[in-house]
Amino acid sequence: MKKRVFSGIRPTGRIHLGNYLGAVQNYVAMQDEFECVYCVVDIHALTTLEDTHLLQENIREQVIDLLAAGLDPSKCTLFVQSHVPEVTELFTLLGMATPLSWLLRVPTFKEKVKQQPQNVNYGLVGYPVLMTADIVLYKAEVVPVGEDQLPHLELAREIVRRFNDIFGETFPEPKGRLTSVPMVVGLDGRDKMSKSLNNHIELAATPEETMKKVMSAVTDPARMRRADPGHPEVCNIYKLHKTFTPSAVDEIAQGCRTASRGCVECKKELGNAINEYLAPLRARRAEIAKDQAYLDRVIKEGAEKARAIAKVTMVEVKRRMGLL
């Protein structure tokens, strides 16, 4: 019997290269090896979104991106989080077994408080509990994650252990699975690629938009002139070349160090490589976006498949907790 995988992605905008390299390509690769449950986590998005007028559009755009990237509804379950209401019920019940002190120590919570001091809501504090509910509702054993999500996953494992100790063995402890490119640095060269920081490249961007973004990227800050020798190991563009032009990275590094290759040249080459890499995906995306009936069907059928699993889990959880 195949192990079950769960992972979710927040619909705060269209999927970008960081999402794709750090998670989505792993989603696709795992479809044949595991029973995969993938979710657009719209409730999670509410912890940071104060304006939700684009939420429904973002949800559909993300589903299109995921399908274009290679997710196959016949091989995996793809659905929208809020379409399976059992997750919020389990979120509440898991909260009864989760000490507040555990949640307050999570590094990403502290970071979010700094980023949005005007909106430190209960959902932001309880984010890891809802994440745990997402995973264990489907009794997933494997969770493909980026490095930044590992603290949340470890907390999910602690919540599972505590629940099982109190109420009896109910959930498996989920294990993380990192991709080969666990975190992609943004075009500013400082933080991870992120929509909120506007240092990203969307999968659905046009070739012209992609090239413009790449040309604006930060390179080696110590290389002020074309004639200055560079340090590729600290250059964000060089890091992306490792993914998109792997056969040329040694030549690129040598050219940078000897100043025989300039940053502009390096960026143009990367922009062309990214566009070539994404061309088939963008073509698939355009076709999927034309068929809204197909998209509706994928979302509806995905929720039905997910709810079938969720209902069984909730009966067991309620019995364990004395609610049935």
Indicate the annotated binding residues for L-tryptophan: 134
Binding-site residue positions: 10-12, 18-19, 134, 146-148, 184, 192-196
User: Per the structure block, which two tokens stand in for 65?
Assistant: 């991106």
What's the CA angle centered on 129, arms 127 and 130, to 5 degrees? 65
Spatial separation of the C-alpha atoms in residues 205 and 215, rounded to whole Å: 14
Binding-site residue positions for ATP: 10-12, 18-19, 146-148, 184, 192-196
Q: At 117, phi and psi to the nearest 5?
A: -60, -20
Spatial separation of the C-alpha atoms in residues 324 and 278, rounded to whole Å: 51
Burial of 288 (0-12, 13-18, 19+ CB in 10 A): middle
Beta strands 175-178 and 76-80: pairing type? unpaired
CA atoms within 13 A on the CB side of 70: 13
Helix boundaries (H) for the chain:
17-19, 25-30, 42-45, 55-69, 86-95, 100-104, 107-115, 122-125, 127-136, 150-167, 207-215, 236-244, 249-257, 263-290, 292-320
Return the sign of the alpha-carbon dihedral for residues 122, 124, 128, 131.
positive
The single residue of 2, 3, 110, 112 carrying the catalytic annotation is 112
The single residue of 192, 242, 268, 318 carrying the catalytic annotation is 192
The single residue of 139, 195, 213, 267 carrying the catalytic annotation is 195
112 a catalytic residue: yes
Spatial separation of the C-alpha atoms in residues 164 and 172, rounded to whole Å: 9
Structural contact between residues 39 and 25, judged by C-beta atoms closer than 8 angstroms: no
The amino acid occupying position 270 is L
311 a catalytic residue: no
**DSSP letter at 139?**
T
192 a catalytic residue: yes
So which residues are the catalytic ones? 112, 192, 195
